[in-house]
């Protein structure tokens, strides 16, 4: 009798070992995916339900094994809701780790340097993974947006840092905007703390305004400190900034792509041909390069700049009006040559 019992124990142990080895093989066998699988796990979803769903799709031959292992390991109750990207080669074992650790699929939005806030709001509303919760975003209403986000300014223009942001599906417009705003405040104050002495602006906000103008004037990193230097010298001398991007911003939706003499001679708070000093708000979202440029502009004596007409978007920098007019003539001549 004792001998029979011993044999039974051995057989049970052997069966258990064989079963465990078989289950381990199942758990380490890659799912038969031909491409990345997007798996949506709702709040309250069970591992058994997920395993059965995969089985129904022909992706998991033995769903009970995964459910059993999840219960045995204590992981079944720790699954996190979200949208998951399951790559080719993923095993059931790795899938469970993915769900427990909450490594959800991330989407991205790149906020471009030089965008206006309205352009940013358009990008938010057109993104398929962002949840729009603010009427101000839907309607592109800047004043309402500043109020809804409880910003410390009447206008939100310029206050969101250009960068690439990564987030899961369902992230709200408010969450993204507040995050970008927080980063802009941090970057602006960090740059302000390391600024040159004697700059002709008294607050970080004034520096932000000028940085937005520099951002719109050039796409070349190497030119930003030079252009900032021109504007700083003009402000010190009491000269008008005379920059086209501010006039264009003031025209708003009325601007059709053609800036005319009539526009330059029509007074507005943003017409820096007619008014001295800075416009009342930023005109775009400045990047890190423009923030650094206005805090540490290049030394020199240039008071003017005009496009060279070269494909790289570069500018001529000159110290006198006579030199500037000559540079303008060169630019116009190059434009005529390019049309021929």
Band of the pLDDT at 334, cuts 50, 70, 90?
Answer: confident
Per the domain annotation, does 134 fall within a domain?
A: yes
Question: Is the domain of 289 the same as that of 205?
Answer: yes
**DSSP bridge partners of 304:** 318
- In the predicted structure, residue 1 carries a pLDDT above the cut 70: no
Per the domain annotation, does 22 fall within a domain?
A: no
Per the domain annotation, does 14 fall within a domain?
A: no
Question: Is the domain of 68 the same as that of 90?
Answer: yes
Give the count of domains, the chain: 3
Per the domain annotation, does 171 fall within a domain?
A: yes
Give the domain-ending residue among 152, 185, 218. Answer: 185
User: Is the CB of residue 84 less than 8 Å from the CB of residue 41?
Assistant: yes
- In the predicted structure, residue 17 carries a pLDDT above the cut 90: no
Question: Is the domain of 70 the same as that of 99?
Answer: yes
Give the domain-ending residue among 150, 185, 220. Answer: 185
Residues spanned by the domain of 150 = 106-185
Question: Is the domain of 120 the same as that of 51?
Answer: no
Give the domain-ending residue among 160, 185, 210. Answer: 185
Residues 6+ apart with CB under 8 A from 175: 167
Question: Is the domain of 120 the same as that of 100?
Answer: no
What phi, psi does 277 have (nearest 5°)? 80, -170
Per the domain annotation, does 168 fall within a domain?
A: yes
Question: Is the domain of 100 the same as that of 116?
Answer: no
User: Is the CB of residue 113 less than 8 Å from the CB of residue 162?
Assistant: yes
What pLDDT does residue 6 have?
53
Question: Is the domain of 232 the same as that of 320?
Answer: yes
Question: Is the domain of 115 the same as that of 131?
Answer: yes
Measured between alpha carbons, how far is residue 324 from residues 20, 229, 232, 268, 302 in Å? 83, 16, 18, 26, 10
Q: Provide the 8-state DSSP code for 31.
A: P
Over residues 247-296, the pLDDT tens digits come to: 999 999 889 889 999 999 999 999 999 999 999 999 999 999 999 999 99
- Tell me which H or E stretch contains 279: none
CA 302 to chain CA centroid, Å, is 34
The residue assigned the tokens 């906020």 is: 111
In the chain, % of residues over pLDDT 70? 93
In this prediction the pTM is 0.87
């Amino acid at each position: 009798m004792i001998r029979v019992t011993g044999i039974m124990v051995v057989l049970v142990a052997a069966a258990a070992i064989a079963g465990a080895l078989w289950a381990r093989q199942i758990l380490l066998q890659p799912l038969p995916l031909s491409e990345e699988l997007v798996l949506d796990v709702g709040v309250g979803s069970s591992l058994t339900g997920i395993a059965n769903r995969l089985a129904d799709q022909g992706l998991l031959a033995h769903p009970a094994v995964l459910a059993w292992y999840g219960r045995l390991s204590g992981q079944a109750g720790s699954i996190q809701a979200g949208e998951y990207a399951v790559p080719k080669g993923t095993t059931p074992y790795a899938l469970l780790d993915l769900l427990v650790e909450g490594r959800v699929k991330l989407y991205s939005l790149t906020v471009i340097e030089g965008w206006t806030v309205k352009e940013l709001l358009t990008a938010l509303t057109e993104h398929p993974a962002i949840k729009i919760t603010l009427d101000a975003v839907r309607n592109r209403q800047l004043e309402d947006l500043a109020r809804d986000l409880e910003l410390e300014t009447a206008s939100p223009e310029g206050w969101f840092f250009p960068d690439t942001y990564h987030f899961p599906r369902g992230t709200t417009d408010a969450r993204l905007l507040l995050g970008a705003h927080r980063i802009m405040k941090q970057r602006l104050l960090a740059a302000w703390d390391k600024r040159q002495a004697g700059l002709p602006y008294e607050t970080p906000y004034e520096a932000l305004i000028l940085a937005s103008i520099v951002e719109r004037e050039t796409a070349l990193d190497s030119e930003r400190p030079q252009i900032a230097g021109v504007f700083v010298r003009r402000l010190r001398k009491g000269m008008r900034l005379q920059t086209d991007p501010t006039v264009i911003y003031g025209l708003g939706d009325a601007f059709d792509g053609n800036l005319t003499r009539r526009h330059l001679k029509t007074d507005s708070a943003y017409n820096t041909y007619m008014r001295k000093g800075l416009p009342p708000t930023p005109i775009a979202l400045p990047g890190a390069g423009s923030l650094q440029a206005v805090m540490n502009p290049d030394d020199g004596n240039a008071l003017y700049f005009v496009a060279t007409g070269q494909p790289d978007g570069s500018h001529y920098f000159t110290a006198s009006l006579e030199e500037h007019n000559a540079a303008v003539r060169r630019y116009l001549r190059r434009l005529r040559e390019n049309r021929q």
